[in-house]
Amino acid sequence: MRTEERVTAPRIGTVMWPTQSWPEAGESWRRAEDLGFRHAWVYDHLAWRGATPWYDAYTTLAAAAAVTSRVRIGTLVTSPNFRHPVPTAHAAKTIDHISGGRLTLAIGSGGTHRTSDAGVLGGDEWTPGERASRFAEWVQLLDRLLTEPETTFEGTYYSAREVVERPGCVQRPRVPFVIAGNGPRGMRVAARYGSGWVTSGEGGGDAPLEVVRTRLAELEAACGEEGRELDDLILMTGFTDEPWLESLDAFADLAGRYAELGFTEIAVHWPRPGTPWEADMKVFEAIAAEYGEAG
């Protein structure tokens, strides 16, 4: 992690909801860019917490890339639950070209709820050990598919045969990976393949910042073993009781605390009425103005 950035204000991004049809969704992505957000993300699920409709993440990103020009875009997060690395790499290269090199892929091991993504392809439920192993192999293969001229791979869970990389990504050596992983194996994947790491304080009860502090120490140990440093630490907000969107002052206070830990990016959810992510749009816009491109 880059120590010289530890006390600077983190960059601000937003998580978009893939629940609007086009062109209404396109207007939301353009507005996110106009508000000054540095990055805009979309969840990569087939369904999520009963929300309907729920549109495809990669198709949405391709369309969003075509109607924006500055904001970085990405998945938060792609997982092995229902995607294979080969078509995922193909889609990622395409979106990277459409966006002019603005794509970031956040990648995680995926949730376990069988009514959303985990069970849609059938088969037995993965054990935690198998899920972690699949995640590590999935990221390894995706990395090769996006960097090597031609890939043939036979793993325990995934395979590829004579997949040609050309023309490759706009970004070199490939699109950045941001790894979501709070356990030891996930952190080793982040340390080996990631340009960044994403986490939240979820599961921390009344002390999410302390939980994140502990995870960071474990991540730094994993990075030390790999002899690497990560460029970006991203905090996903909205899953704790911390009042991120209560007011500009509340955001500034929390952002400062996490910046001291080394976080370079903060992601807030686009306000969604009638859900736990409901918020005052004026406060949301004020935060974007203060911490976004114009801030």
CB neighbour list of residue 224: distance below 8 Å, 6 or more residues apart? none
> Quick one: CA torsion of 174, 176, 180, 181, rounded to 10 degrees?
60
Q: Does the pTM of the predicted model rise above 0.85?
A: yes
Partners of 71 in the beta sheet?
A: none
Q: Report residue 137 as tokens.
A: 């192999």
Looking at residue 142, its pLDDT comes to: 98
Q: Which residues neighbour 83 within 8 Å (Cβ) at sequence distance 6 or greater? A: 44
What percent of the chain is modeled with pLDDT above 90?
83
Looking at residue 116, what is its pLDDT?
63
Of 115-124, 134-143, 180-189, 205-214, the one with minimum mean pLDDT is 115-124
Chain segment 231-288, per-residue pLDDT in tens:
999 999 999 999 999 999 999 999 999 999 999 999 999 999 999 999 999 999 999 9
Cα separation, 94 vs 9, in Å, equals 33
Percent of the chain clearing pLDDT 70 (strictly above): 95
Contacts of 281 (CB under 8 A, 6+ apart): 271
The residue extents of the domains of the chain are: 3-124+169-242+251-291
pLDDT of residue 52: 78
What phi, psi does 127 have (nearest 5°)? -75, 160
161-166 average pLDDT score: 94
Q: What span, in angstroms and rounded, lies between the C-alpha atoms of 184 and 218?
A: 8
On the question of pLDDT at 1 being above 70, the answer is no
Instruction: Tell me what the mean pLDDT of segment 169-181 comes to.
Output: 97
- pLDDT band with cut points at 50, 70 and 90 for residue 49: confident
Give the list of residues 6+ apart from residue 107 with CB closer than 8 angstroms, or none: 75, 77, 78, 79, 135, 138, 139, 142, 177, 178, 179, 180
Q: What is the model's pLDDT at position 6?
A: 38
Q: Which two three-digit tokens encode residue 187?
A: 């952190």
pLDDT at residue number 146? 98
Buried b (16+ CB within 10 A) or exposed e, 52-62: eebeebbebbb
Q: What's the mean pLDDT in 93-118?
A: 87
Residue 98: what pLDDT?
98
Q: Is the pLDDT of residue 48 over 90?
A: no
Residue 114 has pLDDT above 70, yes or no: no
For the domain spanning 3-124+169-242+251-291, the CATH number is 3.20.20.30
